[in-house]
Structure 1
Amino acid sequence: MGSKYPKSLRISLPFWALLLEAAFILVFCFFTSYETPSEKLEFLKRYPAAFQDINVMAVLGLGFLKASLRRFTWSSVVFNLFTLALGVQWAIILDGFLFSFTSRKIAISIHRIILGTMSTMSVLISSGATLGKVNLIQLIVMTMLEVTAFQGTKKLTQDFLKMEEHQSMMQIHVFGAYFGVAVAWCLSEPGLSTAKDKERGAITSSLFTTLGTFFLWIFWPTFNSALIKLPGEKETAVYNTYYALAVSAVVAMSFSAASHSDGKISMTHVHRATLAGGVAVGVTTTLIKSPWIAMVLGLLAGMIAIGGAKCLPGCLNQIIGLHDTCEVHSTFGLPGLLGGLTYILLMIQQASWTTPSMVSFQILISAGCLSLSMAMGLAGGLLTGLILSLNLWKAPPAVKYFDDQAFWEFPHLAAGF
């Protein structure tokens, strides 16, 4: 007896994937070269200290963080790796052409690969909002468009707003969250309720998500300090991130119990709020000169993340017709906005000893960076969502949402699926 899930991607998925890989290979063949031997010392220092940690975050952390659906675990983890592997190649090409295209060659270095991985993590964040509702072809389109939009946003913030590389990259949480929310809003269907039962979690899948949360919690100080050049500032960034994460982890469980009528802790709240401190402190971490500020930021971020996870699905999301599968708005968007607002306040404090015109200038620049990231995320997400909603990509119908059987071979259709 044939499966009710058609082989709709048998031709189109290999065609688009191999076409892109062929294009990438040609670009790397004619326009790239490896760094000079004198720069190899940077590789030896940064490979174990940054490259490995960030890859663990991207592959295991964000992969397992999205493995909360009881019937969509295989796709959550493996599609995450597919998206990362494809996006990194495109991000490296774009970064080279936009930021350092000299002598008609892009120098491939460990720093450029780290930048490519971090840029692609914007897609890994966004895909949490569309989890279970798109196929691999749609993920390919989303990856190409979002990486392009994020690199363009980075270029604007660095060239016109004169932001440093670290600050522009740390806007990834706001950009990725609102890009994903906009795409999810475009893809939300009236018939989504037919697949609601498959969206429920299970004990095993919840443990996978907890594992992803732990991976991210452990390696987040590396993520927040990887692009900082001065050793003193890098050390401060590690300390501030750790303090903020520690407080948000405590808040995740205590505030979750306080928000429940019976004082029970919600594992969903733990997943959403444990990382909130690391998200919020990212853009401000070099400006914070005392641990207590980072701790207060972690406290507020954890409370905001839980408040968003508890209130948004039943209030705002229903009003605007949004379905955010992994609640990336609460996990990354709201803490990211808190961090951006804190950055504005700290920049004002730094400029307060100078002229009033300097204070106004810093407010304008800091607010412009945050607003640009949010606006570009929303605009790019809306455009991408409209493209993905076209009948070109063999998108799964709502009845097949949140189901691994739509994409994977199950030799004997195991019980429980």
Structure 2
Amino acid sequence: MPSRYRSFRCSVPWLLLALQALFLGRALFAFPDTHVRYLPQMYPAFQDVNHMVIFGFGFFLMVLRRYGFSSTGFNLLLIVLGVQCSVLVEDLLNLLENHPSRFGLESLARALMSMTAVVISTGAVLGKANPVQLIVMSLVELIIFHLSRCINRKFLQVPESPSLMHVHLFGAYFGLAVTSCFPEPPPGLDKNRSTPKSELFSVLGTVFVWVFWPSFSSILAENNEVHWNAVFNTYLALAVSAVAAFMLSALTSKDGKFRMAHIHSAVLAGGVTLSCTAGIIQHPWIAMILGLLGSVISILGSHCLQRCFNPPLKLQDTCGVHFTFGLPAVLGAVAAVLLKIFQQEMVPEQSLGYLAFVEVGAFCQTISTAFITGLITGLILNIKLLKAVHVSKYFDDQFFWEFPHLSVGF
């Protein structure tokens, strides 16, 4: 094991230095745009999204009993690297499309929201990937996600903000494809279990994400009406999904008690389901029904997938991102198609078939791109050069972090 530690000492610091030098070199030629839209109103929402991604998802990933340091520490590292990478990739794409560079608070907000895809994917490979693999996966995923958004905007005419809201769909299925390429942990390994303390921290992260999700849905709204619709509808959907999570948890458990795993996943389902439609829903009852359906599909999905489909399909999903983000995101994409069709009178110059084609095409392009590139990325991450972690060292902080007293707390 000491040789492995020396190998990370020789790879991680120099990789971080090279990446930071690249980002710094680009920043030398960038000038912030202080005249960005809604700057005073946007900064509080930007703070909310920042708290949500760093604090919320950092604790959300603390579900394993011996992987708390890595869950929070690597999450912070990936976010601060990924935000800089996302800004750089978006700037390069604007340059290729002959659009002016837009470096400002709005571009930082888009970069931070794009990092949600990486954080979700990290939940699927949690405990299996070393820091070098996580950094490579993050950079590749961000580039592919921006290219996927560019295809949706340029060829399918999907607006800027809705194209970004496919982030949960992309992150979930990219992560599932990547983790399917990792070796399965041995059956007797018990480090991939949770404890009451780890579940408490994880639910604390869920509460952080829940509280700040309305800002996430509304920060890039085009006008005040869409902004307040997104805030109002998202909160209602989250509230209903939380109530449904407690109700369904008691109904599906054998002894009628609540299960923390259900609360951990299903209370966020309403926000994921409304990601693509929060700003265009005109009636609150629609948001509430979607929140309810999101919670139902999350809990029933976890109940069925883990027992019926995961073993034969060999789905390795450490943090349950499939039924927390993937399935509700699919439901949200279907809801977006139906809502756009029902609201066709708002855009009379476009035909019904065209609206359905755009929404379905964006959904299919996003999920297929995520899955195919995720498989390729997973194969790349398992080459010898990246020094994959042995299966006996999965889900263990001691392989990466220094513990002065190894016998304490384990």
**Shared fold per TM-score greater than 0.5:** yes
1:99-126 deviations in Å (ceiling 9; x for gaps): 3679997342100100111111110011
5 Å-filtered alignment, 1:171-182, equals 171-182=166-177
Q: Does 1:118 align with 2:107?
A: no
- What's the CA shift for 1:46? 1.4
1:170 to 162, 165, 173: 165
Structure 2 residue 192 is the aligned partner of structure 1 residue 193 = no
Note the alpha carbon deviations across 1:321-367, whole angstroms, 9 max, x for none.
12100010000000000000000001111227988981111111110
- Deviation at residue 27 of structure 1 after TM alignment: 1.7
Of 16-25 and 323-332, the range deviating more from structure 2 = 16-25
Please give the per-residue CA displacement for 1:235-259, whole angstroms capped at 9, x wherever unaligned: 0110100000000000111101101
Aligned partners of 1:203, 1:3: CA distance in 2, in Å? 32
CA positional deviation for 1:84: 0.4
Q: Distance in 1 between matches of 2:36 and 2:283?
A: 35
Contact kept in structure 1, 2:118 and 2:138, CA below 8 Å: yes
Q: Which amino acid aligns with 2:40?
A: L
Q: 2:43 aligns with which of 42, 47, 53?
A: 47
Structure 2 counterpart of 1:260: 253
Whole-Å separation in 2 of the counterparts to 1:136 and 1:92: 22
% of aligned pairs identical?
42
CA contact (8 A) 1:65 1:213 kept: yes
Q: Shift in Å at residue 415 of structure 1?
A: 2.5
Gaps of 5+ in 1: none
- Are 2:273 and 1:280 equivalent residues in the alignment? yes
- Report the AA paired with residue 187 of structure 2: S
Cα 1:10/1:353, change in 2 over 3 Å: closer
1:19 Cα offset (Å): 1.0
| Unpaired segments ≥5 residues, structure 2 | none
- 2:22 aligns with 23
> What are the residue-to-residue correspondences of 1:80-159 with 2, within 5 Å?
80-99=75-94, 106-159=101-154
The alpha carbon displacement at 1:165 in A equals 1.2
Paired with 2:157 and 2:390, the residues of 1 have a C-alpha distance of 45
1:219-230 map, 5 Å: 219-230=212-223
| Equivalent in 324, 327, 335 of residue 334 of structure 1 | 327
| Greater shift in the superposed pair: 236-245 or 8-17 | 8-17
- Cα offset, 1:413, TM superposition: 0.9
Letter in 2 for 1:25: L
Counterpart in the other structure of 1:64: 59
Mapped to 2, the partners of 1:393 and 1:301 lie a distance apart of 38
1:318 to 298, 311, 315: 311
What CA distance in whole angstroms lies between the structure 2 residues aligned with 1:105 and 1:163? 20
> For residues 226-241 of structure 1, what are the structure 2 equivalents within 5 Å?
226-241=219-234
Residues 52 and 251 of structure 1: CA distance in aligned 2, closer, same or farther (over 3 Å): same
Aligned residue number for residue 34 of structure 1:
32
Structure 2 Cα separation of the partners of residues 55 and 103 of structure 1: 30
Question: Which residue of 1 is the match for residue 11 of structure 2?
Answer: 12
Contact 2:240 2:292 in 1 (8 A): yes
Query: Any idea what SS the aligned residue of 2:108 has?
Result: helix
Matched, 1:413 2:406: yes
1:137–1:259 CA distance, 2 compared to 1 (3 A): same
Q: Distance in 2 between matches of 1:354 and 1:214?
A: 38
| Alignment match, 2:336 | 343
